[in-house]
Structure 1
């Protein structure tokens, strides 16, 4: 990693990139060494080049950074401060350009697999990471890097992530740390926001994967239209050499055409559970309470596979992960070992009472496509069970999800429990109103209950199930393994869904034993 870079050299570099660069107090740049770049004033140390970004940026943040030792700034406007400034026309475009130069293009020595899609990015990235980790273990090589919505690992530090894809300067710093610690492979989730707002600009990826697409993240603060969302996703092909595509998604022809049109894409690989002509085709799917088995057909080979995660949609995710692994020259035996042990916490987690009367399914599903896949898998697992669902929707974003999820829920069950799911600054009951409107459009007679407290809603679904005496699957969707819920800007601690349902099952088993004792 570059320990420092001369400020005059940075100014000269920016001038070489655009004609409209304005330099403030440039005469004061002589002899100044820059040892760090950041947009977060909390991270400023002496020798920092501070980047002023964000619609809510205030000059006070820059003043604070200078007091902590910032020696210069980059911004879209000049400020009345004593340190040199570099004024650019687009700060988001400038950030990856600066980071790439400062960290000396670290992506060139790390083979990156980037994954995008509406649903399944985290699960697929996790599968790839577990395969690469198994391969590294077998070869006594450094563990792979990982950048995702769950955690980031840069070869030194594993930390909880705050964004699906980090801001450009954080991303480049992580890649530089990987390079400096001999990490040669990494897996990365690539969000539509990252592609739209230049977070991954300049980053070359050996492999890019497109899982699926459906309307999501449509709101005034995300994407104004589906077309904008879809176009942003398709930009991933600008970064790759090999494209791995899931044929079973909507809009596949458009996705394929975009991959074919990208001049940097040298090879296109397809996966499918429906088309035997795909490069990687899966069939003969069977499953039990904890695993799925299927056959993969690839290049004349027939490979038996066990996946330690339920949900038939996860077979597509596993196929994409296997294709990425094969493009990384990983043996089928290593892929088999890794997927047979794979975990994906909070995704299709199944918990059953010992008598099988109540099944809880915990899943992160939080949009139309994930709801459709979730209900399909649940019905396939237990076709004779009644179904109840507990869910809500996040506040302040992706407002189109609400009626969409309501539609899917209303089409698949009459027993629906609406509750909180990161309402943030929005009124949770307003969110519930919008979900229920979608339910009523397709199922006017649905039995919809509302309960602000999430664990209370789960408990009500449990009580209602007990009252019927029927074998029932209770879906708890949206939060998965998360242990906080966002309310008015704060992450409030609450009992994760998977922990609470296990408590309910323990209570169920205990009361059953007590009934036996009483009868004796």
Structure 2
């Protein structure tokens, strides 16, 4: 589909976003008064423009960014501010540049979403795992025709994965990747949808064929994210308003409100739930229940149909709940599954940095690397340790930090979730914007109220993990569990807005345990 100045203006008018069209000599709302232009590129980076680019001036855009725009031949920009003093390019002045960017990017790339069954997954925890599970099932039934956008990786051809930058990409990037997925023959797209995706309109105008709401608990509360939990939940709820069908955790906090949202928008609801070994639990369309006392295997049922017994490569009851969610999502998407065999694709899914377990050959020590980074996920991780290893009375050391300049609530919540259930904290570096690592660590240490839990601050993350390992080895009379959380397999630490190379929690532990790449 071709995007021109005229078609862009028409689309903006349709969505009541256009204020006026400005040139150095003309102010108008009629594109017919100006030469029409066919755009050959779209960008939100003023350093990559040419004579066919439609530039979006979003965020902290400054007039000086347009210093070389006329020299490059920039024909048009979209902005909330008149920049005619900085460039001779035509300005489409809009009410909201992010909304405009999403709509116009979709048009520029030929509305690729219309050629895909698009599935959106939201929740405070479990989005990544559920998305990978869903993609695995869809790939099994479609011969590898499912794409994925996740906070870990993006996959545009059903096979190859590349590290992603955001949980939900910027709208322009998302539609560009959708276009590539369609051109690669993909039929499905599974994507994580963050609260910020709705807060800053990264998915504006996009309707999901299936929206999945996994759970909700306080998170991302800060001046630059969500001012309150209510705002966080409200943004999450927008997925329901923009979906054709909802998959809902029957036990989710505020489930009644979420059902009301679905009813208000006239969409059907499919449910999933985690049940007890005795079958107790909230009734749901798809359920998962432990098949043994150690919760090694789980039975998954759909209504009265037994879908079989499953053993996932990723441990934890919460991951079996994610598996049930994925099955419910696939069913809601109308995917025909003639037998349970495609569902066993779930069992081979591994996600780097999620519940990766390592055993030290030199001591009775287990290390787990996980991306847990808030109250809910830390609680779930410790529940797993208690459930699987509680009988051995493990000494648990938690190596953790917290993000800088945002999600301030996490710092206290991580401490609250863990302090009565572990032996020691080691507070260390995690991603930050401008806050010093040491300040964040000291703040977290200050939230400890349990005098029986040990704590130390070691800002260098590699040294922190090494200290935990050496301490465990120094106590050969006990069983140690080291939990390194918050970074997963990421090969960098963000410091002052720069990605500083970092070995990765998994590789640090593997090296210390002498395991190389073997877990």
Cα distance between partner residues in 2 of 1:259 and 1:418: 42
Match of 1:269 in 2: 271
- Relative to structure 1, the CA distance from residue 74 to residue 359 in structure 2 (aligned partners, 3 Å threshold; closer, same or farther) is same
Match of 1:110 in 2: 116
User: Per-residue displacement from partner, 1:209-259 (whole Å, max 9, x unpaired)?
Assistant: 111111110000000000000100011001212211112333333333323
Cα distance between partner residues in 2 of 1:174 and 1:240: 20
Match of 2:288 in 1: 282
Match of 2:346 in 1: 339
Check the 8 A contact 1:244/1:271 in 2, yes or no.
no
Match of 1:41 in 2: 46
**Greater Cα shift, 89-98 or 396-405:** 89-98
User: Per-residue displacement from partner, 1:181-223 (whole Å, max 9, x unpaired)?
Assistant: 4321110000000012211121121111111111110000000
User: Per-residue displacement from partner, 1:306-364 (whole Å, max 9, x unpaired)?
Assistant: 21111111111111111112332234534433112111111111111347710001100
Following TM superposition, by how much is the alpha carbon of 1:49 offset from its aligned partner in structure 2, in angstroms? 0.6
Check the 8 A contact 1:46/1:69 in 2, yes or no.
yes
- Relative to structure 1, the CA distance from residue 7 to residue 202 in structure 2 (aligned partners, 3 Å threshold; closer, same or farther) is same
Consecutive unaligned residues of structure 2, counting only runs of 5 or more, are 24-30
Match of 1:497 in 2: 505
Cα distance between partner residues in 2 of 1:13 and 1:259: 28
Cα distance between partner residues in 1 of 2:356 and 2:292: 17
Consecutive unaligned residues of structure 1, counting only runs of 5 or more, are 509-520
- Relative to structure 1, the CA distance from residue 69 to residue 164 in structure 2 (aligned partners, 3 Å threshold; closer, same or farther) is farther
Check the 8 A contact 2:250/2:283 in 1, yes or no.
no
Match of 2:216 in 1: 213
Cα distance between partner residues in 2 of 1:8 and 1:195: 28
The structure that is helix-richer by fraction is 1
Write the mapping of 1:243-262 to structure 2, written as runs, cut at 5 A.
243-262=246-265
Match of 2:331 in 1: 326
Q: Find 1:125's aligned residue among 117, 123, 131.
A: 131
Check the 8 A contact 2:432/2:497 in 1, yes or no.
no
- Relative to structure 1, the CA distance from residue 62 to residue 71 in structure 2 (aligned partners, 3 Å threshold; closer, same or farther) is same
- Relative to structure 1, the CA distance from residue 245 to residue 478 in structure 2 (aligned partners, 3 Å threshold; closer, same or farther) is same
Cα distance between partner residues in 2 of 1:276 and 1:255: 16
> Secondary structure of 2:311's match?
strand
Q: Find 1:78's aligned residue among 82, 88, 97.
A: 82
Q: Find 2:464's aligned residue among 450, 457, 475.
A: 457
Match of 1:194 in 2: 197
Match of 1:420 in 2: 429
Match of 1:314 in 2: 319
Cα distance between partner residues in 1 of 2:442 and 2:66: 42
**Greater Cα shift, 17-26 or 460-469:** 17-26
- Relative to structure 1, the CA distance from residue 423 to residue 287 in structure 2 (aligned partners, 3 Å threshold; closer, same or farther) is farther
Write the mapping of 1:231-250 to structure 2, written as runs, cut at 5 A.
231-250=234-253
| Count of equivalent residues | 496
Following TM superposition, by how much is the alpha carbon of 1:170 offset from its aligned partner in structure 2, in angstroms? 1.7
Structure 1 length as normaliser, TM-score? 0.90
Residue 264 of structure 2 is aligned to residue 226 of structure 1: no
Check the 8 A contact 1:8/1:30 in 2, yes or no.
no
Q: Find 1:60's aligned residue among 51, 64, 68.
A: 64
RMSD of Structure 2 on Structure 1 (CA): 2.3
Following TM superposition, by how much is the alpha carbon of 1:148 offset from its aligned partner in structure 2, in angstroms? 1.2
Match of 1:396 in 2: 405
- Relative to structure 1, the CA distance from residue 267 to residue 424 in structure 2 (aligned partners, 3 Å threshold; closer, same or farther) is closer
Check the 8 A contact 1:237/1:243 in 2, yes or no.
yes
Following TM superposition, by how much is the alpha carbon of 1:76 offset from its aligned partner in structure 2, in angstroms? 0.5
Following TM superposition, by how much is the alpha carbon of 1:59 offset from its aligned partner in structure 2, in angstroms? 1.4
Following TM superposition, by how much is the alpha carbon of 1:276 offset from its aligned partner in structure 2, in angstroms? 5.5
Cα distance between partner residues in 1 of 2:146 and 2:69: 34
- Relative to structure 1, the CA distance from residue 97 to residue 24 in structure 2 (aligned partners, 3 Å threshold; closer, same or farther) is same
Following TM superposition, by how much is the alpha carbon of 1:37 offset from its aligned partner in structure 2, in angstroms? 1.7
Write the mapping of 1:438-449 to structure 2, written as runs, cut at 5 A.
438-440=447-449, 443-449=450-456
Structure 2 length as normaliser, TM-score? 0.90
Cα distance between partner residues in 2 of 1:335 and 1:243: 22
Match of 2:26 in 1: none
Residue 13 of structure 2 is aligned to residue 15 of structure 1: yes
User: Per-residue displacement from partner, 1:98-129 (whole Å, max 9, x unpaired)?
Assistant: 22333343212210110000111111111111
User: Per-residue displacement from partner, 1:362-417 (whole Å, max 9, x unpaired)?
Assistant: 10000000000000001112111221111111111100000110111212113111
